[in-house]
Amino acid sequence: MNEHMDKLLIIDDEKGVREYLAAACRRLNFVATTAVGREAVVRKLTTFDPSVILLDLQMPGEDGIQILKVLKDHKSQARVVLMSGLDKRTLATATQLGKIFGLNMDGSLEKPILIGELRRKLCNAKAEHWGVDADQLQEAIARGEIMPSYQPKATRAADGKWSIDEVEVLARWHRQDAEVILPSAFIEIAEEAGLLPALTRSIVRQTLIQLAEWDNQGLNLTASVNLSPSLLTDAGFPEQLSALTEEFGVDNSRLTLELTESALTQNAGLAIEILSRMRIKGHNLAIDDFGTGYSSLEQLYRMPFNELKIDRFLVRDIGTRTEASTIVETIILLGHKLGITVCAEGVETRESLDFLVNAGCDKVQGYYVGRPSSARMVEKRIGEFQQDGFTDNSADLDDNEVRPHAHVAKQPLPAHYN
């Protein structure tokens, strides 16, 4: 198992809530499992050993307080987050009781649970688990320890042939202890501490240097960078970006910007203005995680997007749930009717790839095409792809991808990062 994935146990009597929470947690790289009733909870505590527990207080069988006792008897060290539609005082009393039991109580979430609050709570739990705080992060950005990882995207040409001519840029924190930390453990902290502009500038700068280097090797690649919503509140952002692309002699059309729905919730007017100006300056704009609660149809006609990325959690279910394949097929049609390029994310198997190719998808990205990896690995992967086309390489790990946490060998950064 990937040890970057912290383990999370959801205890709630409602199936719908359990599924909703599990999906939200998996998106943040948690391995999530669920339980209802004392016996199931006891089983999960011994076999699964969660690091975080989301516990509903009101359940028809054993209620949350009884489960707290079970946790106490098992000397659980997990962080416990209570959930309830009850008033704040009841939640506070239950929290107090958990503390008396010697449990690691981590506050509460009021039901109905807002996705943003859940996200904040879990990211903070993750950051603490990884020993990440804002001061460290600030230093890490200044020292250049937050580096891009590049994940290849394959595109279908007019003649039907596929090639890798794009990468998505994913931030990785290469800590001095040789540990590589994934964005779910630090992006939220960066956002809260106002560090995202600096982090994004650093990632964009390194990406542009890499694009220029690839140009020198005759590899004409484009890159997409993830933008957080808070960057769309600075009217000067498009100019700052253009100054960077100019500095490195890279055409704006070779830098795509990926955004999710939350980009629009803060100051929609300003966000639309900034996005339109970036589009006019020649950048491509991609709507990320499309097809889930994170992105909506409304944005497609309000915003100047020219690429749509189908959420990886939909793509994952293509082979197993007919609803998922129907939705994916329909999104591709919708995108094409709107004149928008469609990319499927999270393609992990030959079966889902075949389905997407048949459905007319324009681009595919996922472990089946290539893992997020160092520039050198991307070059190698492109070479292989030119020779053999799609082959299953989903098990290949790259040198800048996840390292097993506890057993990590102390080793310096790969030479090309120095």
Residues near ligand C2E (CB under 6 A): 29, 151, 170-171, 182-184, 187, 200, 203, 226, 228, 258, 288-289, 312, 346-348, 366-367, 372
Nearer to ligand C2E, 74 or 119 (CB): 119
Among 288, 307, 398, 401, binds Ca ion (CB under 5 A): 288
Least Å from the CB of residue 162 to ligand C2E: 16
401: contact with Ca ion by CB under 5 A: no
CA 393 to centroid of chain Cα atoms: 21
Q: Which residue has tokens 């993750």? A: 126
Nearer to ligand C2E, 45 or 347 (CB): 347
289: contact with Ca ion by CB under 5 A: yes
Least Å from the CB of residue 168 to Ca ion: 6
Nearer to ligand C2E, 151 or 284 (CB): 151
CA-CA-CA-CA torsion sign (270, 274, 280, 286): negative
Strand-pairing partners, residue 164, are 154
For the chain, the maximum distance between any two Cα atoms, rounded to a whole number of angstroms, is: 68
Per-residue exposure over 278-304, b if at least 16 CB sit within 10 Å of its own CB, e if not: bbeeebbbbbbbbbbebbeeebbeebe
User: Which of 92, 86, 128 has the alpha carbon at shortest distance from 107?
Assistant: 92
373 binds, among Ca ion, ligand C2E, none (CB under 5 to 8 A by kind): none
Letters for 217-256 (x = contact with Ca ion by CB under 5 A, - = none) are: ---------x------------------------------
Dist. CA 390–CA 388, nearest whole Å: 6
Least Å from the CB of residue 295 to ligand C2E: 11
Least Å from the CB of residue 306 to ligand C2E: 17
Backbone dihedral angles phi then psi of residue 234, each to the nearest 5 degrees = -110, 110
Dist. CA 317–CA 329, nearest whole Å: 13
166: contact with Ca ion by CB under 5 A: no
* Element spanning 6, H or E: strand 6-11
| CA distance to 8, 13, 62, 183, per residue, from 65 (Å) | 19, 14, 8, 34
366 binds, among ligand C2E, Ca ion, none (CB under 5 to 8 A by kind): ligand C2E
User: Which residues, 6 or more positions from 405, have their beta carbon under 8 angstroms from its beta carbon?
Assistant: 3, 4, 179
Residue of minimal CB distance from Ca ion? 258
Least Å from the CB of residue 231 to ligand C2E: 8
228 binds, among ligand C2E, Ca ion, none (CB under 5 to 8 A by kind): ligand C2E
Q: What is the DSSP string of 117-174?
A: HHHHHHHHHHHHHTT--HHHHHHHHHHT-EEEEEEEEEEE-TTS-EEEEEEEEEEEEE
Nearer to ligand C2E, 101 or 417 (CB): 417
Residue of minimal CB distance from ligand C2E? 366
User: Which of 277, 177, 181, 188 has the alpha carbon at shortest distance from 229?
Assistant: 188
Is residue 223 within 8 A of residue 211, CB to CB? The reply is: yes
Least Å from the CB of residue 387 to Ca ion: 28
Least Å from the CB of residue 30 to ligand C2E: 12
Q: Which stretch binds Ca ion (CB under 5 A): 130-138, 173-181, 199-207, 337-345?
A: 337-345
Among 258, 348, 398, 401, binds Ca ion (CB under 5 A): 258
Least Å from the CB of residue 170 to ligand C2E: 4
Nearer to Ca ion, 76 or 260 (CB): 260
Backbone dihedral angles phi then psi of residue 411, each to the nearest 5 degrees = -150, 150
Give the binding site for Ca ion (CB under 5 A).
226, 258, 288-289, 345
